[in-house]
C-alpha cells in the first residue's frame, strides 16, 4: 500500500514527538560508520566484477573547436588495448542537478579545455592510462574564444530580477549607505571520491555502479543518453564518498562506461583521475557582485540592491543563484536585484556546495557590516533591526524563522561584545586579532520522495529507497525515524539505500534529502502503525510502541502474526511551497588573527547558531554544520580555481594546489542548534541543513579581518597577498 | 605511467653503475617520482630502487652529523641531536607535507624533488623543463608559485622543498658517489642550479651519480627559526619561507645565516646578507637594508609580484624575532 501525503499546509507533528522509543534527535553514531572506517563499505569503483575492462578518458587540449582526427593505431597496437571509443552519445559535461535528461553532446565538438573526447579501453587500468596518452589528436581550433568573464557577452536573467520602489532615490536620500563590489573566485566541489562507474549489460539490461547523488534523476538522464527505457536500467550508489554538488547529474564516466561495455560485450570500469574530476565536472562560477544598501538614521534599511554577474558555457542554463536569499533576508521597501550570465569557455558551471548563498551571502554580509559601522550600530543589533515579518518581495509569510534567535543565542555563546566597534584594537605580538559576525540563510526546499518500510515476521523493520547517503547521515536518520515510529531499537532497523530497484527517493542535493526522505519514511511508518493498531484492536492514537512491543502488551512480531507488513510512504510538497517562503537561518561569529608581517589569516574560533526545524540526529546535524563552517573557512581564505588566461585551462586541478582547509585551519568550532519545529517545511517538521553552515560564514571571517587589522577586502579568498596589498603599517 | 624495468641494486656502487644512460632513474620513497610517472612527466625505462641500500642511518660526524640519503624525513626530524642542535632542520621538515608523506620521504629524494609548477605537471601544456624547447607555459599564465629571484626567460619555476632551505642556511654538504670524479662533496648551497637556458638540469648530479648522505657542520649556539608563509596552515608549499640561524653577542649580531624557500629555482642563499648583518646592532633600518639587498634583483614576471613585498616583510619579521630578547 502507498501512504501518500501532499503538503498543502502545516502538519500536526505532535505524532513524532509523542513516540516512546526516544531515538529520534539523539546523537546516534552513523550506522554505516564502522563499515566505512574498516574499509568494508563498497564504493562505486570497488565492486569485484569478473572480466572487467578499464576505460580512461582522453581530454581535449584546445579551448573550442572540433576534433578533426584521432590517430589511434599506435594506441590500439599497445598491449591490452581493446578499443578507442569516441561516439556521439558520449557526454562531455556532467548533467546539471535535476536535469532528468542528457542529450547528445558529440565529444568531437570541444567547448572547453580538458573536455573528454574519447575513451581508451584496455585490459588493465595502467594499459588504458598509458594508451590514452599516446593518442594523436588533430584539431580545428577556434581563435578568439571568450574566456574572460569581465568582458564576455552577458545575458540578463529576467527570472532573477526584481525592482520595487526606487533604489536610486533611496540611496540618495539615505542617511547612510554603501555601494561596493565584491568578487569571488571559482570553486570546485572537491569531494574525496572521484567520479567512477562500472557498467555491465545482461542482454538489454544495464546495471551501473556509480558515484551519484540523485539516482531518481540520474536514471532518466542515463536512459536519455543511451536512448533506452528506464526500466532496463539499474543504478547502484550504495555509498558515495562526498558529492558537494558534483554528482547531482549523470557524469561523463557513467555514460562512457555504459557505451563501452555495450560495444565490448563485457563490463567496463571508468574512474576519473583527480585532474579530470577537477577539469571536466563542475565549477562554481566566479562572481562579481555589487551591493547597494541604504538605511535611515535609526539603522532601518530603506534600500537594498544586489546585482550579480556569473558565468557559464554557452548552452548551459545554470546561473549561480547568488541572489537567492537576498530576496527575502532583510526588509527594505526599495529593492533592485538583478543578475547577468556571461558566456565563457571554462568547464560547466553548476551546483557546488550551497550554490548561490555560499558566495552571495558573504558578500551581502560584508556590505551589512560596512553599513552597520557607518550607522554606528552594533552589527548584531543592526541585523535584528532589519528582519522582515514577511517576505519583502512576495509578501508571503515565512515558515519557521529562527534568525533573531540564532543571532541572540550565537552572540551570547560566542561572547560577542556589543557596542561600538573599532578595528585594530587588539594586538598579540605579530597578530592583529578581531571578531566579526554574519547572518546565515539558505532557502529550504523539499522534494517528492518515496520509501518502502517493511515489518518482517520477527518484528524488524527494513527501509528501502533509492535515496543516497553521500556521507551526511541519511542511513542513520532513516533508521531513527523508523525506529521512533515503530518502537524499535536501532539494531532492529536496516536501511538499504542507493539502488534504483527501490522506490524513488528525492536524491541528495539542495539540502532537501533529510526532510524529504524522512517524510516518506515517516508516512510509511505511520501507515504501518495504523495496521498494527488495527491488529491489536487499539485506537491508533493510543498505540505506544517501544522496544519491539506495544507498551505493556503484545510484541510487534506477535501482532504481525508471521506475515510481512509493507507500506510505501510517498511525500510530495504541495501549496506550502508557493504560499510561504521557507529558509534555514543562522548566525556566524568568528574570531580571527591576521599576521601583521605576512598577511596570513587564521580563524581562532567560530560559533555557528542554526535554526532548521527539527534536529533529526544531533550528531550528524552538528557534523553538517561543522562541515559547512569548514567550507566557510575555505571560501574565506583559500579556495580558488585558477584559470589560464590564454586557453582557459584549470591550472590547479588537484588537491595539492586547490586548497581546502586542513585540520589545523579549523580550530575551535562551536555549533548551536535551535530546538525548532517547522510544520510547513516537511511532514517531519525538519528543514535542510547540509548547506546552511557555509551560507554567510566567509562574511563573518571577512568582517573579523576588518575588525582585526582595518582592512576591508573585497575579493575572496582573502589570501595573504590580498591582505598585504591593503594592510597599513 | 609507462612500463618500466625495476632493479634492486646490492650496494651504492652497484646502484651507481646501474643508473647509467638515459631513461634510468633512482627511486627512494617514491612520493614525488611515482606521482610524476603516473602523469608521464617522468618516463623512466628503468627504476633503480636505492631504497634498501645501507644509507638509512644518522651518525656522528666529528662534531657534526651525517644523515644518510635514505633516512626518512620523519626520522631526521625526530632525531634527538637534530632537535637539540639543528632545530631549524627539524622545523623545516615538520613544516612540509604531512606525517604520512614524511614517513616515506627521504633525504636524497627530498633534495631532488621537482618543481610544483602546474605547467610542468600538465603534459598538455608547454614546458621547457619537461620538454626542452616547447616554451614556458607559466610565463604569462598562472604563476603564483613562481620565482622572483634568479629566473630566466626559459623557466620561472621554484624549487619547492623546505628541508633543503634549512640545509642551505646550515651550510650542509651533499655527498655524492658514482660520477666521473668518484666520491665528491658539494655544498647544499651549490647543489641546485638556476634555470638559465637549461631548466631541466636542476642540480649538479651527473648521470649515474647518487646522493649518499648529507653532513651538517658542528652546531652553533644560535637562535634557529623557520618561517613558512602559506595560505593554509599546513599541507601546502611555501609562498615564501625563511630559515635563519642568528646569534647575538654583546648586543651585536655575531652570526647570521639565512636561506629562503619559494623564491627561486633553488634554496636561495645570498652571502651579502650575512656581511650586512654581522657586527651590527639590530635595528629596523638594518633589516630594511638587508631586505633591499636580498631583493635588489627581484623580478616577478606577473603572477608572483606579491612575493616581493611578502619576502621583504617575512625576512624582517624573522630578523626581528631572532634578535629580540637575545643578548
Ligand atoms: C601532496 C604533497 C605535499 C608535499 N608537501 C611538501 C612540502 O610542503 N614541503 C616539502 O619540502 N616537500 C613536500 N612534498 C614533497 C616531498 O617532500 C617529496 O616528495 C619527498 O621528499 C621526496 O622523497 P622520496 O624519497 O619520496 O623521493 P622519490 O620520489 O623516490 O624521488 C624523488 C627524486 O629524487 C631522486 N632520488 C631519490 N633518492 C636519490 C638518491 N639517493 N640519489 C639521487 N637521486 C635520488 C629520484 O630519482 C627522483 O628524481 C610534498 C609531496 C606531496 C606529494
Ligand atoms: S616555469 Fe619552468 S617548469 Fe614551469 S612551465 Fe615554465 S619552464 Fe616549465
pLDDT, one tens digit per residue, over B51-99 is: 999 999 999 999 999 999 999 999 999 999 999 999 999 999 999 999 9
Q: What are the pocket residues of ligand 2 if the criterion is a CB atom closer than 6 Å to any ligand atom?
A: B 115, 117, 119-120, 127-129, 136-138, 155-157, 199
Confidence of residue B12 (pLDDT cuts 50, 70, 90): confident
Q: What is the pLDDT of residues A264-280, one digit of tens each?
A: 999 999 999 999 999 99
Query: What mean pLDDT, rounded, does chain A reach?
Result: 97
Q: Residue for cell digits 609548477?
A: B117
Q: In the predicted model, what is the mean pLDDT of residues B288-307?
A: 94
Q: Is the pLDDT of residue B327 over 60?
A: no
Q: How far is CA A174 from CA A293, A374, A535, in A?
A: 9, 12, 69
- Residue A97 pLDDT > 70, yes or no? yes
Q: Which long-range contacts (CB under 8 A, 24 or more apart) does A407-412 make?
A: A407/A380, A407/A383, A407/A439, A407/A587, A407/A609, A408/A380, A408/A384, A409/A587, A409/A609, A409/A672, A409/A674, A410/A437, A410/A586, A410/A587, A410/A588, A410/A589, A410/A607, A410/A608, A410/A609, A410/A672, A411/A380, A411/A437, A411/A587, A411/A589
Q: Whose CA is nearest to atom 14 of ligand 1?
A: B97
A429 touching B (Cβ < 8 Å):
no
B316 in contact with A, Cβ within 8 Å: yes
Q: In a 10 Å sphere around its CB, with 0-12 CB exposed, 13-18 middle and 19+ buried, how is residue A576 labelled?
A: buried
On whether the CB atoms of residues A393 and A164 are closer than 8 A, the answer is yes
| Ligand 2 centroid to residue B158 C-alpha, Å | 9
> What is the per-residue pLDDT for B300?
87
B230 interaction partners in chain A (CB closer than 8 Å): 600, 720
Ligand 2 centre distance from Cα of residue A721 (Å): 22
pLDDT band at A712 (very low <50, low <70, confident <90, very high): very high
Show residues of chain B in contact with A715, CB under 8 Å: none
Looking at residue A420, its pLDDT comes to 81
pLDDT for the residue numbered B205: 95
CB A646 to CB B119 under 8 A?
no
Proportion of chain A in helix, strand, coil states, percent, rounded to 5: 30, 25, 45
Please give the domain boundaries of chain A with CATH numbers for all domains.
2-30+446-578 (3.30.365.10), 44-62+64-143+190-280 (3.30.365.10), 158-186+284-444+582-643+650-728 (3.30.365.10)
Check B141 against A646: CB less than 8 A apart.
yes
Note whether A274 contacts B: Cβ–Cβ < 8 A.
no
pLDDT at B184 over 60: yes
A513-526 per-position pLDDT tens digit: 999 999 999 999 99
- Closest ligand to C-alpha of residue B128 is 2
Catalytic residue numbers of A read: 691
Which one of the ligands is nearest to B151 CA?
2
Q: pLDDT tens-digit profile of A99-123?
A: 999 998 999 999 999 999 999 999 9
Contact A453, A522 (CB under 8 A): no
pLDDT-derived band at B326, boundaries 50, 70, 90: low
3-state SS, B157-216, equals CCCCCCHHHHHHHHCCEEEEEEECCEEEEEEHHHHECCCCCCCCCCECCCCCCEEEEEEE
pLDDT number for residue A320: 98
Chain B interface includes A642 (CB < 8 A): yes
The pair phi, psi for residue A130, each rounded to 5°, is: -65, -45
Give, in order, the Cα–Cα distances in Å from B152 to each of B132, B191, B198, B245, B293: 14, 18, 10, 30, 20
> Which of B44, B99, B232 should one mutate to test binding to chain A, selecting the residue with the greatest count of A CBs within 10 A?
B232
The pLDDT score that the predictor gives to residue B16 is 84
What is the residue with the minimal CA distance to atom 28 of ligand 1?
B30
Residue A378's pLDDT is what?
97
Kindly state whether A717 is in contact with chain B, defined as any CB-CB distance less than 8 angstroms: yes
DSSP character at residue A617: B
- CA A725 to chain B, closest CA, distance in angstroms equals 8
Tracing cell 575555505 back to the chain, one arrives at: A634
Q: Is the CB of B210 under 6 A from ligand 1?
A: yes
Cβ neighbours of A550 (radius 10 Å): 21
Q: Which one of B145, B229, B234 has the shortest CB-CB distance to A598?
A: B229
> Of all residues in chain B, what percent carry a pLDDT higher than 90?
91
Question: For an interface test with A, which of B119, B122, B242 has the most A Cβ atoms less than 10 Å from its Cβ?
Answer: B122
Nearest Cα of chain B lies from the Cα of A727 at a distance, in angstroms, of 12
Q: Of all protein residues, whose CA lies closest to atom 2 belonging to ligand 2?
A: B155
Determine the average pLDDT of the residues in A2-13.
92
Question: Which of B142, B234, B302 to probe the A interface (max A CBs under 10 A)?
Answer: B142
Would you state the pLDDT for residue A13? 66
- pLDDT of A689 higher than 90: yes
How confident is the model over A617-675, as pLDDT tens digits?
999 999 999 999 999 999 999 999 999 999 999 999 999 999 999 999 999 999 999 99
Average pLDDT over residues B26-47: 97
Q: What is the pLDDT of residues A549-570, one digit of tens each?
A: 999 889 999 999 999 999 999 9
Q: Where are the alpha helices (DSSP H) in chain B?
A: 12-18, 33-38, 73-78, 80-85, 87-94, 99-104, 107-112, 163-170, 188-191, 271-277, 284-294, 307-323
Chain A residues with CB under 8 Å of B160 CB are none
Residue A158: the pLDDT is 92
The ipTM estimated for the assembled molecules is 0.96
pLDDT at A250 exceeding the cut of 60: yes
- pLDDT for residue A625: 98
Of residues B123, B141, B144, nearest to A644 (C-beta):
B141
The pTM for the full model equals: 0.98
pLDDT score of B139 more than 90: yes
Give the model's pLDDT for residue A202: 97
Judging contacts by C-beta atoms under 8 Å, the chain B residues touching residue A57 are none
Which ligand approaches the C-alpha of residue B147 most closely?
2
Beta-carbon separation of B231 and A638 below 8 A: yes
pLDDT over threshold 80, residue B325:
no
Confidence (pLDDT) at B180: 87
Q: What are the C-alpha distances in Å from A515 to residues A244, A456, A511, A557, A626?
A: 18, 26, 8, 29, 19
- What pLDDT, on a 0 to 100 scale, did the predictor assign at position B17? 86
- Chain A positions in Cβ-Cβ contact with residue B313 (cut-off 8 Å): 597-598, 724
Contact map slice: B 34-93 vs A, CB within 8 A = 38, 40
pLDDT on residue A84: 97
Within the 116-175 window of chain B, which residues sit less than 8 Å (CB to CB) from chain A?
116, 118-119, 122-125, 137, 140-142, 144-145
Which helix (H) or strand (E) segment holds residue B47: the answer is strand B46-49
Output the pLDDT for position A640.
98
CA distance B131 to B122: 11
In B, which residues are within 8 Å of A58 by CB distance? none
- Please write the tens of the pLDDT for every residue from A21-77: 999 999 999 999 999 999 999 999 999 999 999 999 999 999 999 999 999 999 999
Q: Which residue of B232, B306, B316 is in closest CB contact with A659?
A: B232
Mean pLDDT over B289-302 rounds to: 94
Structural domains in chain B plus CATH codes: 5-52 (3.30.43.10), 223-322 (3.30.390.50)
Residue range A163-188: average pLDDT?
A: 98
State mean pLDDT over B121-148.
97
- Looking at chain B, the number of H-run helices and the number of E-run strands are 12, 11
The residue with cell 505532535 is A14
Is A604 at the interface with chain B, CB within 8 A? no
Is B142 close to A643, i.e. CB distance below 8 A?
Answer: yes
Determine which helix (DSSP H) or strand (DSSP E) holds A255, and give its type and residue range. Answer: helix A252-264
CA B274 to chain CA mean position, Å: 20
B40: which chain A residues are within 8 Å (Cβ-Cβ)?
A: 130, 133
Closest Cα partner for A406 from A48, A670, A51? Answer: A670
Q: How confident is the model at residue B20 (pLDDT cuts 50, 70, 90)?
A: confident
Q: What would the grid cell of residue A520 be? A: 516518506
> Could you tell me the pLDDT band of residue A411, with boundaries at 50, 70 and 90?
very high
Number of Cβ within 10 Å of residue B42's Cβ equals 20
User: Are residues B88 and B166 in contact, defined by beta-carbon separation less than 8 angstroms?
Assistant: yes
Assign A401 a pLDDT band (cuts: 50, 70, 90). very high
Q: What is the pLDDT of residues A582-615, one digit of tens each?
A: 999 999 999 999 999 999 999 999 999 999 999 9
Q: Answer whether A635 touches B (CB < 8 Å).
A: no
Best residue among B9, B19, B24, B28 to mutate for probing ligand 1, ranked by most atoms within 8 Å of CB? B28
Amino acid at each position: 500500500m502507498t501512504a501518500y501525503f501532499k503538503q498543502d499546509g502545516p502538519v500536526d507533528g505532535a505524532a513524532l514527538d509523542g513516540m516512546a522509543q526516544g531515538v529520534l534527535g539523539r546523537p546516534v553514531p552513523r550506522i554505516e560508520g564502522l563499515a566505512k572506517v574498516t574499509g568494508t563499505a563498497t564504493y562505486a569503483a570497488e565492486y569485484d566484477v569478473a572480466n572487467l575492462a578499464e576505460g580512461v578518458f582522453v581530454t581535449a587540449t584546445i579551448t573550442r573547436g572540433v576534433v578533426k582526427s584521432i590517430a589511434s593505431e599506435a594506441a590500439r597496437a599497445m598491449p591490452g588495448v581493446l578499443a578507442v571509443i569516441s561516439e556521439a552519445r558520449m557526454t562531455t559535461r556532467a548533467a546539471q542537478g535535476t536535469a532528468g535528461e542528457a542529450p547528445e553532446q558529440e565529444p568531437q565538438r570541444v567547448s572547453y579545455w580538458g573536455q573528454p573526447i574519447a575513451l581508451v579501453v584496455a585490459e588493465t587500468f595502467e594499459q588504458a592510462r598509458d594508451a590514452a596518452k599516446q593518442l594523436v589528436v588533430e584539431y580545428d581550433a577556434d581563435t578568439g574564444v571568450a574566456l574572460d568573464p569581465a568582458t564576455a557577452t552577458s545575458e540578463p536573467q529576467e527570472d532573477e530580477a526584481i525592482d520595487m520602489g526606487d533604489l536610486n532615490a533611496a540611496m540618495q536620500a539615505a542617511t547612510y549607505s554603501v555601494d561596493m563590489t565584491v568578487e569571488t573566485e571559482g570553486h570546485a566541489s572537491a569531494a574525496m571520491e572521484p567520479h567512477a562507474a562500472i557498467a555491465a549489460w545482461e542482454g538489454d539490461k544495464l546495471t551501473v555502479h556509480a558515484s551519484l547523488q540523485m539516482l531518481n534523476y540520474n536514471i532518466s538522464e542515463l536512459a536519455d543518453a543511451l536512448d533506452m527505457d528506464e526500466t532496463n536500467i539499474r543504478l547502484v550508489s550504495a555509498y558515495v564518498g562526498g558529492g558537494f554538488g558534483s554528482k547531482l547529474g549523470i557524469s561523463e564516466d557513467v555514460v562512457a562506461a555504459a557505451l563501452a561495455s555495450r560495444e565490448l560485450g563485457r563490463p567496463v570500469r571508468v574512474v576519473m583521475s583527480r585532474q579530470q574530476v577537477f577539469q571536466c565536472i563542475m565549477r562554481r562560477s566566479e562572481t562579481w557582485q555589487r551591493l547597494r544598501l541604504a538605511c535611515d538614521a535609526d539603522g532601518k534599511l530603506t534600500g537594498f540592491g544586489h546585482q550579480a554577474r556569473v558565468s557559464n558555457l554557452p548552452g548551459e542554463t545554470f546561473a549561480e543563484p547568488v541572489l537567492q536569499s537576498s530576496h527575502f533576508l532583510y526588509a527594505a521597501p526599495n529593492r533592485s536585484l538583478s543578475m547577468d550570465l556571461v558566456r565563457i569557455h571554462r568547464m560547466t558551471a553548476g551546483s557546488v556546495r550551497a550554490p548561490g548563498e555560499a558566495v552571495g551571502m558573504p558578500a551581502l554580509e560584508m556590505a551589512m557590516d560596512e553599513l552597520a559601522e557607518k550607522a554606528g550600530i552594533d552589527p548584531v543589533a543592526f541585523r535584528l533591526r532589519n528582519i522582515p515579518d514577511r517576505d519583502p518581495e512576495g509578501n508571503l509569510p515565512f515558515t519557521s524563522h529562527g534568525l533573531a534567535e540564532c543571532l541572540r543565542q550565537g552572540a551570547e555563546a560566542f561572547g560577542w561584545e556589543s557596542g561600538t566597534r573599532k578595528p585594530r584594537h587588539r594586538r598579540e605580538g605579530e597578530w592583529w586579532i578581531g571578531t566579526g559576525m554574519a547572518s546565515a540563510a539558505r532557502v529550504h526546499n523539499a522534494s517528492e520522495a518515496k520509501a518502502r518500510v517493511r515489518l518482517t515476521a520477527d518484528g524488524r523493520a527494513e527501509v528501502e529507497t533509492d535515496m543516497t547517503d553521500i556521507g551526511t547521515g541519511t542511513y542513520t536518520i532513516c533508521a531513527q525515524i523508523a525506529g521512533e515510529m515503530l518502537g524499535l531499537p536501532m539494531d532492529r532497523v536496516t536501511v538499504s539505500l542507493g539502488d534504483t530497484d527501490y522506490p524513488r527517493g528525492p536524491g541528495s542535493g539542495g539540502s532537501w534529502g533529510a526532510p524529504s526522505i524522512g517524510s516518506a519514511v515517516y508516512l510509511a511508518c505511520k501507515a504501518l502503525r495504523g495496521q498494527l493498531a488495527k491488529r491489536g484492536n487499539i485506537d491508533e492514537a493510543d498505540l505506544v510502541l517501544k522496544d519491539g512491543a506495544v507498551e505493556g502488551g503484545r510484541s510487534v512480531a506477535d501482532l504481525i502474526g508471521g506475515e510481512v507488513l509493507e507500506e510505501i510512504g510517498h511525500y510530495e510538497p504541495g501549496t506550502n511551497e508557493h504560499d510561504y517562503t521557507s529558509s534555514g537561518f543562522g548566525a556566524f561569529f568568528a574570531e580571527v588573527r591576521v599576521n601583521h608581517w605576512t598577511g596570513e589569516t587564521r580563524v581562532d574560533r567560530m560559533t555557528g547558531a542554526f535554526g532548521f526545524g527539527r534536529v533529526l540526529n544531533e550528531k550528524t546535524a552538528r557534523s553538517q554544520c561543522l562541515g559547512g563552517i569548514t567550507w566557510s573557512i575555505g571560501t574565506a581564505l583559500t579556495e580558488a580555481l585558477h584559470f589560464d588566461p590564454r586557453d582557459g585551462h584549470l591550472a590547479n586541478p588537484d588537491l595539492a594546489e586547490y586548497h581546502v582547509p586542513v585540520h589545523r585551519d579549523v580550530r575551535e568550532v562551536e555549533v548551536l542548534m535551535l530546538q525548532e519545529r517547522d510544520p510547513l517545511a516537511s511532514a517531519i517538521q525538519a528543514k535542510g541543513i547540509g548547506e546552511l553552515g557555509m551560507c554567510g560564514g566567509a562574511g563573518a571571517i571577512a568582517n573579523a579581518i576588518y575588525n582585526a587589522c582595518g582592512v576591508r577586502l573585497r575579493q575572496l579568498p582573502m589570501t595573504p597577498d590580498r591582505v598585504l596589498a591593503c594592510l597599513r603599517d | 605511467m609507462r612500463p618500466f624495468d625495476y632493479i634492486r641494486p646490492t650496494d651504492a656502487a652497484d646502484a651507481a653503475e646501474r643508473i647509467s644512460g638515459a631513461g634510468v632513474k633512482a627511486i627512494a620513497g617514491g612520493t614525488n617520482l611515482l606521482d610524476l610517472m603516473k602523469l608521464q612527466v617522468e618516463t623512466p625505462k628503468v627504476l633503480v630502487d636505492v631504497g634498501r641500500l645501507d644509507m638509512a642511518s644518522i651518525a656522528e660526524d666529528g662534531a657534526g652529523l651525517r644523515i644518510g640519503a635514505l633516512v626518512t624525513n620523519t626520522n631526521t626530524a625526530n632525531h634527538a641531536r637534530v632537535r637539540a642542535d639543528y632545530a631549524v632542520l627539524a622545523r623545516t621538515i615538520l613544516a612540509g607535507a604531512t606525517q604520512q608523506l614524511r614517513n616515506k620521504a627521504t633525504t636524497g629524494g627530498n633534495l631532488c624533488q621537482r618543481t610544483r609548477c602546474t605547467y610542468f605537471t600538465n603534459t598538455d601544456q608547454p614546458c621547457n623543463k619537461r620538454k626542452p624547447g616547447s616554451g614556458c607555459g607559466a610565463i604569462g599564465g598562472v604563476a603564483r608559485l613562481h620565482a622572483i629571484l634568479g629566473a630566466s626567460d626559459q623557466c620561472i619555476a621554484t624549487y619547492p622543498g623546505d628541508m633543503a632551505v634549512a640545509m642551505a642556511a646550515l651550510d650542509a654538504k651533499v655527498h655524492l658517489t658514482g660520477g666521473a670524479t668518484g666520491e665528491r662533496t658539494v655544498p647544499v648551497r651549490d647543489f641546485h642550479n638556476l634555470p638559465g637556458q637549461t631548466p631541466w638540469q636542476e642540480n649538479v648530479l651527473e648521470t649515474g651519480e647518487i646522493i649518499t648522505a648529507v653532513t651538517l657542520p658542528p652546531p652553533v649556539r644560535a637562535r634557529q627559526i623557520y618561517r613558512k608563509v602559506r595560505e593554509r596552515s599546513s599541507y601546502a608549499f611555501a609562498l615564501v619561507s625563511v630559515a635563519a640561524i642568528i646569534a647575538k653577542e654583546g648586543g651585536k649580531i655575531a652570526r647570521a645565516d639565512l636561506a629562503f624557500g619559494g623564491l627561486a629555482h633553488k634554496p636561495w642563499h645570498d652571502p651579502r646578507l650575512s656581511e650586512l648583518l654581522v657586527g651590527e646592532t639590530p635595528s629596523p633600518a638594518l633589516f630594511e637594508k638587508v631586505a633591499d639587498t636580498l631583493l635588489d634583483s627581484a623580478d616577478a614576471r606577473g603572477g608572483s609580484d606579491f612575493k616581493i613585498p611578502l619576502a621583504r616583510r617575512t625576512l624582517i619579521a624573522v630578523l626581528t624575532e631572532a634578535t629580540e630578547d637575545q643578548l
